[in-house]
Chain A
Amino acid sequence: MNIRAQVSSVFHLDKCIGCHTCSIACKNLWTDRKGVEYMWWNNVETKPGTGYPTQWEDQEKYHGGWEKNGRRLQLRLGGRGGLLGNIFHNPRLPTMDDYYEPFTYRYGELISAPAGNDQPTARPVSMISGRPMEIQAGPNWDDDLSGSGIYAANDPGVLHLSPEQQAQMFAVERLVMFYLPRICNHCLNAACVAGCPSGAIYKRGKDGIVLINQDKCRGWRMCVSACPYKKTYYGWATGKSEKCVLCYPRLEAGEAPACFHSCVGRIRYLGVLLYDADRIETATMQDDKDLVAAQRQIILDPFDPQVQAEARKAGIPEQVVEAAQRSPVYLFVKKWQIALPLHPEFRTLPMLFYVPPLLPVVSEEHLGTQRLVDDYFTTLENARLPVQYLAGLFAGGNTEEIKAVYRKLMAVRIQRRRITVGDVSESEVAKARELGKVSAEEIEAIFRMTALTSIKQRIVIPPMLREQAIEAGMDPERYKQEMGFGSRRPPKRRW
């Protein structure tokens, strides 16, 4: 056993209202510079939709993530020699047109225009060349456009469905959508790390945050292709790749990451998980449908005395184990098993988990869902949002995983309905609990964690032990003379 700690998160999709506040908080803090305008380390997508960059989930096109090659796992980009052979021109690199060309407007022309009969206009201009441009796309261009023949219909997840299911999703009365906020998953088996020719990308041992060493990055661009989630980005002005840093300077100061802190729907949970690094390889070699269960298995119980002893042996501080015991992520992912990883079939072991959205399924049954318990559970396949679609997103195609989550979430709804409205009989609640394999107490706990928590319960930041980082990395005498941490050179091309 080789225990490590990982700062992980859960996004509760039923609570996401698609307001993009998280994206704006992140943009203002991190990517408000020349060359990175197009980067959205946090973005919110409408599903079904093509996403950002366009069709990022289509690995036939981008060759991101891992694939099984006999008994070994190999990057879909190819072996190491082949990857280096493509270093001069990476054939799988998405270009700016796959994201969007960043733009601004010539606002000054609104006031500087000479007097005339026409209303002055602010022309859109490219933020790259500065020339006037026709705006063709943006970071959330398909926002709310479910049912669109251009966007939703080209969602790679939709394209994998049967024609009947596709028709069902696009029937006007049954149109359905939900929001998918995405940040870097800080994977256990990160493909960006494995693909970096310079070895600039690394996982921090203490907390599992994946970072790009800006001094080591040489702009070979392989991480951009290797990451199946397209969450590393190439900075076109500096020639360096950048990615979500999980706001580690904020975490080290005990603050929630900006996107978590600003989340209006309070959908974001953060906590530390203990896992067994020795079992990563086994977990990534399972069949697609078993990947979720395998990933759950390598996450360890922080209350287990044996795990605690092993953690101590591995040098994980007591406070971190304590934080793991209070981790909401552990509850959602391991104890209740209602949060699932995004696209586990990419085999990177993403450590950001999603509670799948229940709402579209419930609304399928108009006129009192709770009266139709039996029907509801037997007709999950015909639900407004096909279970297969969700299984493609969150379970490597394993519909049973999705159904198990939904049965549990429905049991929560039905029991709470009995308590707050009272029009459900106890026998119906009992039946829902039995189907959902969940106890009455657990339901109350899920309900409280979903709806009634304070920020301190939702976001449990382990001590980040910054003091050790300073000791190890720098001569304290030298550090004393510096003014604050971080790079004091502007991120610009200088040579």
Chain B
Amino acid sequence: MTDLILFGVLPYIAVTVAVCGSVYRYAVDRYSLSSQSSQFLESRTLFWGTVPWHYTIVPILLAHLLAFLFPAAWGTLLGRPLRLYLLEISGMALGLVAGVAMVVFLVRRAGNPRIGAVTTVIDWVLLAVLLLQVATGVYIAVTLRWGSLWYLHTTTPWLWSLVQLDPQVSYMAVMPAIVKVHAVNAFFLLALVPFSRLIHMISVPLAYLGRSAQVVVWYRR
């Protein structure tokens, strides 16, 4: 029953909240969309948090996403032991760096009174949830070896069953507790997107690469 709620119901709630919340916030309160950067108040420590964090978490997130979207290609990629080792090792390294970056974030936010002035409750919640996610992720990678392979036969089918509106909870029910925590926490994070600074993910400014340098706006033309 618990498994059904956690892996069969919660994901739908989380996705609904994330999508509806983000759309609502974008449509009604666009002014509030911001990276909420605190670099202006403190730059030096932030460098050791934000740069490692973003450059490690984005590839990790992409790997999770690719293995879900293209399991066949992912399986082929990991078909040779050497490639598997390389990917696992780099994944672990990235995860460790992300964890360190998260600690830097926490220490900075707790220790600097200037940063304290721009910190809200949801910022703390988000940091805690992210730290838990990174910690469980690294722990899984280290203890439950070759996660990049078993992910293909457990998580990927479970996620696809969710997509097909036919949740196969059994895939997750047999997993160790730590993996369950990781999966549930991931959907909780997703649900947090519209209520936290995570919302800045929906405004990745890739259009900048293609637009003209100057922007002129006319009343009518």
Contact = CB atoms under 8 A, between A and B. Distances in A.
Interface string A185-208: 000011001101111011111100
Contacts of A96: 40-41, 114
A494 B219 CA distance: 31
B221 interface: yes
Contacts of B35: 218-220, 239
A417 to B, nearest CB: 47
Interface stretch (A82-90, A302-310, A384-392, A445-453): A82-90
Interface in B173-221: 194-197, 199-200, 203, 205-209, 211, 213-221
A471 B219 CA distance: 9
Interface size range on A against B: 35 or more
Contact of A206 (B34, B54, B113, B219): B219
Interface string A208-225: 000000111111110010
Interface residues of B, number: 52
A48 B122 CA distance: 47
Interface in A27-85: 80-81, 83-84
Contacts of A206: 218-219
Given A199-B211, A215-B30, A236-B41, A89 B36 contact: no
Interface stretch (B42-50, B64-72, B85-93, B156-164): B42-50
B170 interface: no
Contacts of B206: 84
A234 B205 CA distance: 18
Given A80-B208, A89-B51, A131 B113 contact: yes
A95 interface: yes
B217 A489 contact: no
Contacts of B196: 495
Nearest to B44: A95
Among A199, A203, A219, the most chain B Cβ lie within 10 Å of the Cβ of: A219
B25 interface: yes
A420 interface: no
Nearest to B218: A205
B116 A494 contact: no
Contact of A221 (B39, B47, B122): B39
Given A95-B39, A129-B116, A236-B118, A205 B51 contact: no
A389 to B, nearest CB: 31
A311 to B, nearest CB: 15
Interface string A114-132: 0000000000001011110
A468 B220 contact: yes
Contact of A218 (B29, B51, B200): B200
A476 B47 CA distance: 48
A273 B38 CA distance: 39
B16 interface: no
A495 B205 contact: no
B205 A197 contact: yes
Interface string A465-494: 100110111000000000000010101011
B213 A221 contact: no
A319 interface: no
Nearest to A470: B219
B152 to A, nearest CB: 31
A221 B37 contact: yes
B143 interface: no
A473 B217 CA distance: 11
A282 to B, nearest CB: 15
B165 interface: no
B114 A202 contact: no
A495 B40 contact: no
Contact of B39 (A90, A194, A315, A489): A90
Contacts of B31: 214-215, 240, 487, 489, 491
B117 interface: yes
B208 A95 contact: no
Contacts of A129: 113-114, 116-117
A204 B40 contact: no
Contacts of B40: 93, 95-96, 221, 224, 234, 236
27 contacts: A80-B209, A81-B209, A84-B208, A84-B209, A87-B205, A129-B117, A130-B117, A196-B215, A203-B215, A204-B217, A205-B217, A205-B218, A215-B31, A217-B34, A218-B33, A218-B200, A220-B35, A224-B40, A234-B40, A236-B40, A239-B34, A315-B221, A472-B219, A493-B32, A495-B195, A495-B196, A495-B197
A-B interface, 3 closest residue pairs, ranked by CB to CB distance from nearest: A239-B34, A197-B205, A205-B218
Given A216-B30, A240-B34, 7 more contacts: A95-B41, A199-B205, A218-B33, A219-B35, A219-B36, A220-B35, A234-B40
